[in-house]
Amino acid sequence: MNLDYLWQGFGVALTAQNLLIGFIGCFIGTLVGALPAIGPINGIALLMPIAYTMGLPAESTMILLAAVYCGAEYGGRISSILLNVPGDAGAVMTAMDGYPMAKQGRAGEALALSGIASFVGGIIGVIGLAFFAPLLSGLAIGFGPAEYFVLMIFAFATLGSMVGSQPVKTLIGCTLGLMLATVGLDATSGAYRFTFNEPELGDGIEFVVLVIGLFSVSEAMIILEHQGRGMTVVRDLGRMTARMSDVVKSMGATLRGSLIGFVVGVLPGTGASVSSAVSYTTEKRISDREGTFGKGDVRGLASPEAANNATAAGAFVPMLTLGVPGSGTTAVMLGALMLYNIQPGPMLLVERPEVVGGLIASLFVGNFILLALNLPLVNIFARVLTVPNWLLVPGILVLSVIGVYSTHASVFSIFLMLGIGFAGWMLRKAGFDMAPIILGFVLGKVMEVNLRNALAISGGDPSILFESAISITLWVMALAVAVLPFLLSRRQKALLLKPTETVEDSHQ
């Protein structure tokens, strides 16, 4: 296996400028993750246009955003443990045992132990990424337009079946994203689509406008709505180091969580929320013989925390090699690459090894920075939880406005962002997740171009979509991930109903 790109990447990541950028990103990311109000997507969405406007090269921007992403995965545990309110979706399961530990006066231990688990998960994830990226990239070089189109279908099928409890809403979100991607000039025919004679929509809806509108503006409205719902910060942190016995006891759970997290992260369309839930339930099944999970068991804390950090690295595999994001956050990062006119896919490793290698190497270095930041400074990060909303939310909104204005210098874009933000709030009220919309949007143009190219090659014959072995495999996989969870849940329901039916039968 050729790992030259990785050594080249370390050369990029270890320059003084990129080390500093990585450090700043890790610091900001941990703060962003610690705040229950803003998750990694919001942090990246707000920083992306600023990095672009500052004229940072693509590899430095990706290093910054990746550091924010990983930092947020570390930081998410702080509010989960101290507040019982997850900093991001991936930290939901961390609260299950982290918060009970904090209530027992072991908050400092829980923070230190979860910091170690995050580090192990992050490093295992990065090693997996470094080895799998070239392998998958090599496989994907054989993909033509038809295979790419089917790959997108597979990504949406995975998303629909694995994210959230309401697959119909997830798929509606994807479709809305795909629809938004059709706005603007159609390059093949020169036709303007859905621009309503507005010249500023000629190039389509700008990614920054959509992502900031959906995540930051609607988030401000949600925060206001939820304001006043009782949250109690655990202030007595207790001992600030992890006990060696706890580290040893939780090591198996950490390693298993890391592997599960990486594998789930590689699947297109899934994210840390899925991996941490899968790893927690798996660990509970394997280890919870005394019924201590949910009551402050260190294994219940370490497993999901390792998983969500491994997922962050795993999610880069499909994004960098196939151009299909592994999570909502990597969908936003894919959009950041597009700002630099870089199209992720199998050729990225060949054409821009410094971007891929630099990103992977910076993730490796970043995990060491994050461990160094998170063990001694966790007390300082915990204080960010006391920032009042009346100071925090105006700051988020100012960054949103500057982010959009600095990229486009257009008031129209800001109004569009507000409109999208309002629509996002309505959708969130109706129980829709925003990440599928972003995923649909970033894949929309590529999906349409590949479908049209495939049909142009076949002279309009749709059977080209089912011809190659790769396409057929992807169709089968898409069908399996779409149908299997449905069949399994039906089987589970049937098993649960069986004893009741027997009782009823006996009465008849």
| Residue closer to another protein (CB basis): 409 or 503 | 409
Q: Which helix (H) or strand (E) holds 344?
A: none
Distance separating alpha carbons of residues 36 and 181, to the nearest angstrom: 30
- Residue 56 token pair: 């940072």
**Cα 20 → chain centroid:** 24
15, 343, 453, 468: which one contacts another protein (CB under 8 A)?
A: 453
Closest alpha carbon to 433 in 282, 281, 236, 214? 214
Distance separating alpha carbons of residues 347 and 326, to the nearest angstrom: 18
Instruction: Give min distance, CB of 237 to another protein, in A.
Output: 28
Q: Which helix (H) or strand (E) holds 81?
A: helix 58-83
Restricting to residues 181-200, which ones interact with another protein according to CB under 8 A? 182, 186, 188-191, 193-194
| Residue closer to another protein (CB basis): 459 or 499 | 459
Show the binding pattern over residues 433-452: x = contacts another protein (CB under 8 A), - = does not: ---------------x--xx
Scanning 89-97, 173-181, 241-249, 250-258 for contacts with another protein by CB under 8 A, the matching segment is 173-181
The three state secondary structure string of 164-183 is CCCHHHHHHHHHHHHHHHCC
# of chain residues touching another protein (CB under 8 A): 61
Scanning 266-274, 328-336, 454-462, 485-493 for contacts with another protein by CB under 8 A, the matching segment is 454-462
Distance separating alpha carbons of residues 388 and 400, to the nearest angstrom: 19
Restricting to residues 203-222, which ones interact with another protein according to CB under 8 A? 217, 220-221
Restricting to residues 40-69, which ones interact with another protein according to CB under 8 A? 50, 53-54
Q: Which helix (H) or strand (E) holds 267?
A: none
Distance separating alpha carbons of residues 91 and 72, to the nearest angstrom: 10
199, 230, 291, 460: which one contacts another protein (CB under 8 A)?
A: 460
Restricting to residues 220-279, which ones interact with another protein according to CB under 8 A? 220-221, 224-225, 227
| Residue closer to another protein (CB basis): 291 or 459 | 459
Instruction: Give min distance, CB of 475 to another protein, in A.
Output: 17
| Residue 475 neighbours by CB under 8 Å, 6+ apart | 150, 153, 154, 466
Instruction: Give min distance, CB of 10 to another protein, in A.
Output: 28
Restricting to residues 391-420, which ones interact with another protein according to CB under 8 A? 391, 393-395, 397-399, 401-402, 405-406, 409, 411, 414-415, 418
Sign of CA dihedral 194, 197, 198, 202: positive
Instruction: Give min distance, CB of 408 to another protein, in A.
Output: 12
Instruction: Give min distance, CB of 155 to another protein, in A.
Output: 15
| Number of neighbours of residue 472 by Cβ within 10 angstroms | 13
Instruction: Give min distance, CB of 466 to another protein, in A.
Output: 17
Instruction: Give min distance, CB of 52 to another protein, in A.
Output: 11
The three state secondary structure string of 362-397 is HHHHHHHHHHHHHCCCHHHHHHHHHCCHHHHHHHHH
Contact assessment for residue 257 and residue 279, using Cβ atoms and an 8 Å cutoff = yes
| Number of neighbours of residue 4 by Cβ within 10 angstroms | 10
| Residue closer to another protein (CB basis): 174 or 361 | 174
**Cα 225 → chain centroid:** 25
168, 469, 496, 503: which one contacts another protein (CB under 8 A)?
A: 168
The residues that touch another protein, with contacts defined as CB under 8 A, are 50, 53-54, 165-166, 168-169, 171-172, 175-176, 178-179, 182, 186, 188-191, 193-194, 217, 220-221, 224-225, 227, 388-391, 393-395, 397-399, 401-402, 405-406, 409, 411, 414-415, 418, 421-422, 425, 428-431, 448, 451-453, 455-456, 459-460
